Amino acid sequence: MKHLLENLFSEKHRLTARRRAMGVLHEICRNHERLNLFADGAPREMPSILLDVDEDAGTVVFDIPPEVEGVQWDQREPVLAVARFEGVFVGFELDDIEPVPWNGAQALQAALPPRVYYLQRRQYFRVPVGSGDISAVVLVRQGAAAVNGRCHDISAGGMRVLVSPVGGDFPLRAGELLQELRFQLKGMALQTAARIQHVDQPVQLPNGSSLVPLGLEFCEKTFAFDQAVVRYVQQRDRDLLSGRS
C-alpha cells in the first residue's frame, strides 16, 4: 500500500481539469464507493465513505471511520483518502477537518480537495474495435484540412487510426496537436483534443492504395468522454474474453 500511495499522489497523476476532478468526486459520492483513509504514521487504513460534495460551500462530508485496532488518529489532522472507481485508483487529501451533524448523526467535514489524483493501471490497454462500434474519425488540424480515418483499436488513453496519405497540406508528424478529434462511439458523439504520438509506415492494401497508421493520445478529456471510452474498453475486453466478437 505504501508503494501505491507514493505512486498515486504524484504530479503526473494529478487531474489538471477542475471540472473532471469534481466529476470524479461526485461519482465516488453518488456510488457510495469505499474510502480508505490513511493517517500520518498509522500502520493501517481506516474505512469510510464520501457523504457529500458541495462545490459552492467548498466542503466535503465523510463518514466517521470506526475505531481500527492499532490506528491512532487525531481527527483534526489531515488524512489521505483513496477510493477505487471503475477499476481506477483515485486519491485526494482531506484537510481542515471538523465534526458536523449529518442526518441525525455525526460526520466529519473537510475542505474541498484542491487536487485529485487518478491512477488508471490499465490506461494503455487497447482493444480492437467491434464492427460498426466507432464511426469515421475526423482529425481537425490547425492550418490544414481535416483528415478522415477509421479507428483500429482504442484504449482509455488514445486510439490507433488508419488514414489516407495526406496530399497538398503539410504531412502528419509526431507531436502535432489536433484541435479536435471527433467520432461516434456506439451512437454517442464524442470529441476531444488529441496529440499524434507516432506515424507508422503506410500499410499497402490489396487494391493498390495505402493507409497510414497513427497513434493518437487523447488530451484535455472531459469526465464524460473518459468514462464513455473506459466503459467501452472494459465491455469490449469482456466480450472478447467470452468469445463474443
Burial class from Cβ neighbours inside 10 Å (0-12, 13-18, 19+) for residue 26 reads: middle
Higher pLDDT, residue 54 or 89: 54
pLDDT mean over 233-241: 80
Residue with the bigger pLDDT between 122 and 35: it is: 35
Distance separating the N- and C-terminal Cα atoms of the chain: 37
Q: State the DSSP code for 134.
A: B
- 3-class DSSP assignment, residue 171: coil
- Whether 87 has a pLDDT exceeding 70, the answer reads no
Rg of the chain taking only CA atoms, in angstroms: 22
Secondary structure (3-state) at 120: coil
Domain with CATH 2.40.10.220 in the chain: 127-241
79: burial class by Cβ within 10 Å (0-12, 13-18, 19+)? Answer: buried
Residues 15-25 have pLDDT tens digits of 988 998 999 99
Delimit the CATH 2.30.110.10 region(s) of the chain.
2-119
Q: Which three cell numbers stand for residue 225?
A: 468522454
Q: Is the pLDDT of residue 7 over 80?
A: no
| Average pLDDT estimate for 143-163 | 92
- 45 in helix, strand or coil? coil
Q: Which of 95-99, 164-168, 171-175 is the least confident region?
A: 164-168
Burial label for 170, CB within 10 Å (0-12, 13-18, 19+), is exposed
Q: Tell me the average pLDDT of the chain.
A: 87
Topology, domain 127-241: Thrombin, subunit H (2.40.10)
Task: Name residues whose C-beta falls within 8 Å of residue 140's C-beta, 6 or more positions apart in sequence.
Answer: 146, 178, 179, 180, 181, 182
CATH 3.20.20.80 fits 2-119, yes or no: no
89-138: per-residue pLDDT in tens?
A: 899 999 999 999 999 999 999 999 999 998 765 545 678 999 899 999 99
Please tell me whether the overall predicted TM-score, pTM, comes out greater than 0.75 for this model: no
Contact in structure between 62 and 34 (CB atoms under 8 Å): no
Closest CA to 50 of 66, 33, 67: 33
* The three three-digit cell numbers of residue 125, written as one number: 490497454
Give the pLDDT score at 151: 95
Residue 223: predicted pLDDT: 86
